A and B are shown apart, each in its own frame.
Chain A
Amino acid sequence: MRPTDILKITPQGLYCAPGDFHIDPVRPVAQALVTHGHSDHARPGHGSVLATTETLRIMAVRYGEGFCGTAQEARLGESVAIGDARVTFRPAGHVLGSAQILIEAGGCRIVASGDYKRARDPTCLPFEPIACDVFITEATFGLPVFRHPDLASEVRKLLDSLALFPDRAHIVGAYALGKAQRLMALLREAGYDRPIYVHGAMERLTDLYKAEGVPLGEVRKVVAAERGKLGGEIVICPPSAIQDLWARRFPDPVTSFASGWMRVRARARQKGVELPLIVSDHSDWDDLCATIRETGAGEVWVTHGEEDALVHWCRTQGLEARPLHMIGYGDEGDDADAPREEPAA
């Protein structure tokens, strides 16, 4: 069987014919396998969903318990048969519960890696390379200008700024699922022991992380009326809130944003960010290239992001590669947990 007979691109997303299921479908389907809980990959309304326990819990928090017909738990490392295909979930190191999906059918091994990273993350299991024939990769940061710096130095930038401006609130934009909690954990590792304040839109996911046993220290929800008293504190909020009226009510706020995009100056300036923190839950260029080599795949499919450059690189390495031009991915975060000005309290 050729890989393209096993996995096809449909308007719903990647479709596995031998197993009759979709991976991370963008529209409702009968049977969905979901790699992780970000809203561009995990959407409500499917007949059945197979995903890790943590991903299912994240979906339930976001969409309510009835987010699909039947939810089925995928145990990491356990191979299960679906139709004529076998699937195995393994950690992807992206966010809590994130997984790659190995599909074996017709003697061919294909890995749909979802989103993944290789950098350290105290809030989730690390990525495990899987030997395969075809590796399906994202390319969010698929350009050689994206080289994520040392994490500790980025966290140090935030703490240094707090020391320099002890009266200013530090408003840090971070995706509500994963980035926010990773940042909290990294701050704790760096010895920061004051309460960390969060925007209301982050509270439930943060509580979920804590319930799953991720130590985050004391986290307090921002009470709208008390914003003026939070000078010198760290406040984490969804990216779209950093320029919101909501953020302007803090004492002389320093606008910060934790994202791999902060590597590019124009991106930071477009968002009005004064203190860019290059902290990413995606692989940087070097890690994308290293991971592709580690899997031993002879063929690489690139789903979303800066696919042209990664495809070009693969070809220069003698690998077959093609962009999938998939639509509907890469928009996680900004709108998912839509933070609007909270009603005056």
Chain B
Amino acid sequence: MNRFAALLDRLAYEPRRNAKLRLAAAYLRETPDPDRGYAHAAMTGALTFRNAKPALIRGLIAERTDPVLFGLSYDYVGDLSETVALMWPTPQAGAPGHNRPPAPTLTEVVETLASASRSELPARLAGWLDHLDEIGRWALLKLITGNLRIGLSARLAKTALAQIGEMEPNAIEEVWHGLEPPYESLFAWIEGRGPRPESVDPAPFRPPMLSHPLEDVTDFRAALDPASFSAEWKWDGIRVQAVAGFHEGRKTARLYSRTGEEISGAFPDLIDALSGDPHFVGAIDGELLILRDGRVQSFNVLQQRLNRKTISPKLIHEFPAHIRAYDLLAEGEEDLRALPFAERRSRLEAFVGRLDPQRIDLSPIVGFPDWPALEAARADPAGAGAGVDAEAVEGVMVKRLDSPYVPGRPKGLWFKWKRDPFVVDAVLMYAQRGHGKRSSFYSDYTFGVWRQGQAGPELVPVGKAYFGFTDEELAQLDRFVRKHTTNRFGPVREVTHTADAGLVLEVAFEGLQRSTRHRSGVAMRFPRVSRIRWDKPPREADRIETLEALLATYPEPETTDP
């Protein structure tokens, strides 16, 4: 456990990617099985414990510390594991009954967390916490909370693993799904001591191909030949991979997020349809959307289906899940990823043509003779073929016709060209401390615009933004909040916001929805601070009518919030 804790500690402070890789690879090379396998599982987020959950940690600390002091500390540190690791009252050295036993091994910890009963766990965990130092406690608690926050992605951890056997990280990805910690057969293969582990997974995840912003290409209108590219809408849903295959005569269908997380459980309707359709054997890259009467709903509607604990028949009925297909990665047993995009596209068209259009349809191609034509389509998707679905279009995707499907974010093949955001000048009203990287800074800002109140103009909150600014601007905003606090509500500070005193933020956002949950009646999609208007007095900020006018350009939603 101590070696693993030391590794996490060093990774957390190491800013350089290559140095992180070296640290992780050295650990994986030098640590024996099964410790290293469990460590790798922790780094890739592959460990989950049925009974050991954050609530267990909260329970233990609540028995040992003042709840107000814990709350304030957690609010400051912004990380449960770290707060508890720092606050944990350790028994006095030399106190009777505390002969230091050796620290537990990582394997012992993981296996106990996985197997101990709900009633045994608190005492086991408390015993370890009493005998580990602050770094050990932090690492142990990180195992339970799951999110390590050490700046090491699952992808980087797999790259480190590949390095110990001089392999390509994608070779690891291909066999990854279907293997279980502590991955002894995988290590044996990488180190040349055993055969390639047979992935028994008939529906594996394939790392997706990602794009670069088109605007990042210097003078792209001259640099890129439109004839070499195909364009389609960039749909505002969630990017998914739908996969189905056979193993020993039984069909399995799965849905993955773009990070490889399996999300089948949240979409049983879709999974049933994919399993039941005899034509669906292969892997599709597409966008998950909610379709009602053939119309794509906004992201706001989709969000009401996401993150639900229970998936009721009513939810499924009111929010039918649908996939709009972008690409075909495999058909039957055949891997199509090396084929050029144009060829995959025609295979995709034929493939989707055999499926139930209620569940899977094609993302249409947007034809364009030159860049100005595409720019016009991007500015007005409704007029350029997206029709009533235009509201769910967040821009266009531009793909080289000859591009193979390359996992990761290869240069020069795929581009995204998002719509220009809307902007509004709003007044900072409340601020709250952030979590994670932003912990201890006031980094979450609630902002409002003017409306006519009973006693004259008043500010009404219209949204919350917590990014868009640089680290330097964050420090300035934080200082502003601290110096202009007029009231405190727990972790929230109210900030001066009168007509003459206060801070105006230019807020960019992607879209606007009517909302019954917000006092202002509108909800912004993807709001962020695009500029800090130190120069502008609050009285000159925008009015709610500006937002309402924007709303009027959208068609009314047919159903209201459930």
Residues of A within 8 A of B (CB): 143-147, 149, 263-270, 272-276, 306, 308-309, 312-313, 316, 325, 327
Contact = CB atoms under 8 A, between A and B. Distances in A.
Given A144-B87, A145-B87, A266-B78, A309 B73 contact: yes
Nearest to A327: B483
B14 A266 contact: no
B73 A145 contact: yes
Contact of A145 (B12, B86, B437): B86
B72 A269 contact: no
A306 B73 CA distance: 10
Interface string B431-469: 000001111110000000000000000000000000000
Contact of A309 (B72, B134, B436): B72
A145 B78 CA distance: 12
A272 B15 contact: yes
Nearest to B15: A272
Interface stretch (B62-70, B268-276, B294-302, B416-424): B62-70
B86 A312 contact: no
A266 B488 CA distance: 24
A306 B491 CA distance: 12
A144 B12 contact: no
Most buried by A among B13, B79, B436: B13
Contacts of A272: 15
Interface in B75-103: 76-79, 82-83, 86-87
A155 B214 CA distance: 49
B535 interface: no
A309 B488 CA distance: 14
A312 B67 CA distance: 11
Given A144-B87, A145-B86, A268-B13, A313 B439 contact: no
14 contacts: A143-B73, A144-B69, A144-B73, A144-B87, A264-B86, A266-B437, A266-B440, A267-B440, A269-B15, A269-B151, A272-B15, A273-B13, A308-B72, A312-B72
A265 B12 contact: yes
Contacts of B441: 270
A275 B13 contact: yes
Interface range on chain B: under 10, 10 to 19, 20 to 34, or 35 or more? 20 to 34
Ordered nearest first, which 4 A-B pairs have the shortest CB separation?
A: A145-B86, A266-B439, A309-B72, A145-B73
B471 interface: yes
Nearest to B89: A144
B62 to A, nearest CB: 14
Contacts of B482: 327
Most buried by B among A275, A309, A316: A309
Contacts of B151: 269
A145 B13 contact: no
A143 B68 contact: no
A317 to B, nearest CB: 11
B14 A274 contact: yes
Nearest to A146: B86
Nearest to B151: A269
Given A145-B82, A266-B437, A269-B151, 9 more contacts: A266-B79, A269-B437, A270-B471, A272-B15, A274-B13, A276-B13, A308-B72, A309-B68, A325-B485
Contacts of A269: 12-13, 15, 151, 437
A276 B13 CA distance: 8
Contacts of A145: 73, 76-77, 82-83, 86-87
Given A268-B13, A269-B13, A274-B13, A263 B86 contact: yes
A306 B87 CA distance: 16
Given A274-B13, A276-B13, A265 B72 contact: no
A126 to B, nearest CB: 25
Contacts of B69: 143-144, 309, 312-313
Contact of B15 (A266, A267, A274, A312): A274
Given A143-B69, A144-B87, A265 B14 contact: no
Nearest to A255: B15
Nearest to B76: A143
Given A264-B76, A269-B13, A144 B65 contact: yes
B76 A306 contact: yes
Interface string B382-425: 00000000000000000000000000000000000000000000
Interface string B467-493: 000010000000000110100100000
A143 B13 contact: no
B484 to A, nearest CB: 9
A161 to B, nearest CB: 11
A274 B19 CA distance: 11
A266 B436 contact: yes
Given A144-B73, A145-B73, A313-B69, A266 B438 contact: yes
Contact of B82 (A264, A275, A306): A264
Contacts of A273: 13
Nearest to B78: A266
